[in-house]
Amino acid sequence: MKIILTGDRPTGNLHVGHYVGSLRQRVLLQNKGDYDELYIMIADAQALTDNFDNPKKVRENVLNVALDYLSVGLDPSKATIFIQSEVSELTELTFYYMNLVTVSRLERNPTVKDEIRQKNMDRSIPAGFLNYPVSQTADITAFKANIVPVGDDQLPMIEQANEIVNSFNRIYGETLVKCEAVLPKEGAARRLPGIDGKAKMSKSIGNCIYLSDDEETVRKKVMSMYTDPDHIKIDDPGKIEGNMVFTYLDVFSTDDLIKKYSDFNSLDEMKEKYSKGGLGDVVIKKVLCNILNEILDPIREKRKYYEEHIEEVIEILKNGTLKARKKANETLKEVKKAIGINYFE
């Protein structure tokens, strides 16, 4: 059996970094059909663990993320798209799994540690936030998922999930399934920097190009992209390394697209000219702009359709959630039986 589960916290619109880092692969995976079940979860309950004081933000973004999923081509007839908080079995599983992990183990999780540092939470960390790797274990095991496509920051979660699975099976008998992370392919696509070239694309820094940005917004953002500060006159030699326009072209362009939108036959040719001098920033930015818009156009079109048919989106989420709940309920029953708290069966 090949059961795939992955998800996102709904804390903002998804951007082109998400697209090349994970969404594109999910759609490919979906269309290849080499799996038995495919679940995509909108992790609103997890988003609340560090946004409990801003539920409005989480609520609004549930629909935004659903729109992003559908507009990139995730297909509800192949993938079960659902809302985490609507599957209460996940919370119940979390409660039993919490007994199988120590506070000090939770505090050692490097991703959680990083997040605590970034948010200056220190010792005032909410118990729910510290516990989210356990809740993520419930997300994965409830569906008996054995394949979890995630970014590399999620590896500690997978490791902790498997530890909990091992403990559970050892103490209560073989019940839960171990899982394996699938990471995106090597290269810049894995951590697409923001348009400022400073950090990974991130909503809080404000350096993102969103899947929902219109043409004019994309144009403005590309025109403001960090290139080579020493490339002042067109004839000056320009640097490729660290130049965001080329970093993005590396990720988004193909030779066909380069031929279509520039006077060059390949990206390498274009880079060569830029390095030697004689190719202006505005020209290369226009090429990138056209390529991004060509990729984003069909996504925008689908989004527009679904924005005008929100009731369809709600229906998709409802149906997906029902299906997810059924499966999670079966697992919860097995878990309670294994522990011996299935009194009325």
Shortest distance, position 18 Cβ to ligand TRP, whole Å: 9
Query: Contact between 136 and ligand TRP (CB under 6 A)?
Result: yes
Query: Contact between 68 and ligand TRP (CB under 6 A)?
Result: no
Query: Contact between 139 and ligand TRP (CB under 6 A)?
Result: yes
Q: Tell me how far apart the alpha carbons of residues 48 and 10 are, in angstroms, rounded to a whole number.
A: 9
Q: Which of 4, 43, 208, 279 binds ligand TRP (CB under 6 A)?
A: 43
Q: Among 80, 78, 63, which Cα is nearest to 303's?
A: 63
Query: Contact between 245 and ligand TRP (CB under 6 A)?
Result: no
Q: Tell me how far apart the alpha carbons of residues 140 and 143 are, in angstroms, rounded to a whole number.
A: 6
Nearer to ligand TRP, 154 or 162 (CB): 154
Nearer to ligand TRP, 205 or 232 (CB): 205
Query: Contact between 6 and ligand TRP (CB under 6 A)?
Result: yes
Query: Contact between 50 and ligand TRP (CB under 6 A)?
Result: no
Q: Tell me how far apart the alpha carbons of residues 10 and 104 are, in angstroms, rounded to a whole number.
A: 28
In this structure, are residues 4 and 147 in contact, taking their beta carbons and an 8 Å threshold?
Answer: yes
Query: Contact between 327 and ligand TRP (CB under 6 A)?
Result: no
Site string for ligand TRP, 141-180 (x = CB under 6 A): -------x-x---x--------------------------
Local structure of 260: helix, strand or coil: helix
Nearer to ligand TRP, 23 or 258 (CB): 23
Q: Which of 140, 147, 222, 249 binds ligand TRP (CB under 6 A)?
A: 140
Task: Report the alpha-carbon angle 28-251-153, nearest 5.
Answer: 70
Contact window for ligand TRP (CB under 6 A) among 5-13, 75-83, 100-108, 222-230? 5-13
Q: What are the start-end ranges of the H helices in the chain?
A: 16-18, 24-32, 44-49, 55-72, 89-97, 103-108, 110-118, 127-130, 132-142, 155-172, 215-223, 244-252, 255-261, 267-276, 281-308, 310-339
Q: For the packed helices 89-97 and 310-339, what is the interaxial angle rounded to 10 degrees?
A: 40
Q: In the complex, which residues of this chain contact ligand TRP (CB under 6 A)?
A: 5-9, 41, 43, 46, 136, 139-140, 148, 150, 154
